[in-house]
């Protein structure tokens, strides 16, 4: 069921719209010094996005203060990008979720769908266990969930913690939960 989201262009368009909303809100707030923010998007070469959306996913929203002497950069959280990972966040989560109980045939299909190697999938699985579980973010955020999760089954147990009716909505809820990890300052803490 979640496998269908991997190739669903409308799902990736939704994530783009959500990122656009976060960027508009960051720009509206302006810089901490009180001045306006100018666009300072930077290029990305994300993997795992449907071909027709690669161009739309090739830039990450970011802003720079317009005031001379401040020039502080503001990069809003993102539904599309999970920190500095090369593959888009949804792919990192979904492929790792689908890794639970995966048959060799399913793994081959996943590799074909998004072009991810077995080694990369294993690295993501290790990231969830070795880096995510002991992170300051997870220690603080897991208390917001309604029930304790099995950390050995992450991210599947985390995805199952969200009660939305559709897989797409559950995935958006999970990506919303992970938003603090998508900016450089929070990603470095993990």
Nearest in space to 116 (alpha carbons), one of 47, 58, 190: 47
Q: What is the pLDDT of residue 99?
A: 76
Nearest in space to 182 (alpha carbons), one of 93, 50, 120: 93
Q: What is the pLDDT of residue 101?
A: 64
Q: Quote the CA–CA distance of 111 and 183 in Å, as a whole number.
A: 27
Nearest in space to 62 (alpha carbons), one of 46, 87, 88, 81: 81
Nearest in space to 6 (alpha carbons), one of 157, 180, 179, 171: 171
| Cβ density class 158-167: b for 16+ within 10 Å, e for less | bbebbeeeeb
DSSP 111-154: HHHH---HHHHHHHHHIIIIIITTSHHHHHHGGGSSS---GGGT
Q: Quote the CA–CA distance of 110 and 102 in Å, as a whole number.
A: 10
Q: Where are the domains of the chain?
A: 2-182
Q: Quote the CA–CA distance of 157 and 150 in Å, as a whole number.
A: 6
Residues of the chain with pLDDT under 50: 185-190
Phi, psi angles (nearest 5°) of residue 37:
-105, 135
Q: For 138-161, how does the pLDDT look when each residue is reduced to its tens digit (9 = 90+)? A: 999 998 898 889 989 999 999 999
Q: What is the pLDDT of residue 100?
A: 72
Q: For 69-92, how does the pLDDT look when each residue is reduced to its tens digit (9 = 90+)? A: 998 999 999 999 998 899 999 999
Q: Quote the CA–CA distance of 105 and 115 in Å, as a whole number.
A: 15
Q: What is the pLDDT of residue 140?
A: 93
Q: Quote the CA–CA distance of 122 and 187 in Å, as a whole number.
A: 20
Q: What is the pLDDT of residue 102?
A: 66
């Amino acid at each position: 069921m979640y496998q269908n989201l991997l190739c669903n262009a409308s799902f990736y368009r939704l994530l783009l719209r959500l990122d656009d909303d976060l960027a508009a809100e960051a720009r509206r707030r302006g810089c901490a010094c009180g001045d306006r923010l100018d666009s300072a998007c930077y290029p990305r070469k994300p993997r795992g996005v449907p071909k027709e959306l690669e161009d739309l996913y090739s830039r990450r929203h970011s802003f720079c203060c317009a005031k001379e002497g401040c020039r502080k950069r503001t990069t809003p959280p993102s539904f599309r990008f999970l920190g500095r990972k090369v593959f888009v966040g949804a792919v990192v989560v979904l492929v790792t979720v689908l890794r639970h109980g995966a048959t060799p045939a399913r793994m081959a299909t996943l590799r074909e769908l998004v072009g991810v190697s077995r080694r990369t999938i294993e690295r993501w699985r290790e990231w969830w266990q070795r880096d995510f579980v002991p992170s300051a973010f997870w220690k603080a955020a897991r208390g917001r969930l309604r029930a304790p999760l099995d950390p050995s089954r992450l991210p599947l147990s985390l995805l199952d913690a969200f009660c939305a009716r559709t897989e797409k909505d559950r995935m958006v809820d999970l990506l919303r939960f992970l938003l603090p990890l998508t900016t450089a300052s929070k990603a470095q803490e993990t």
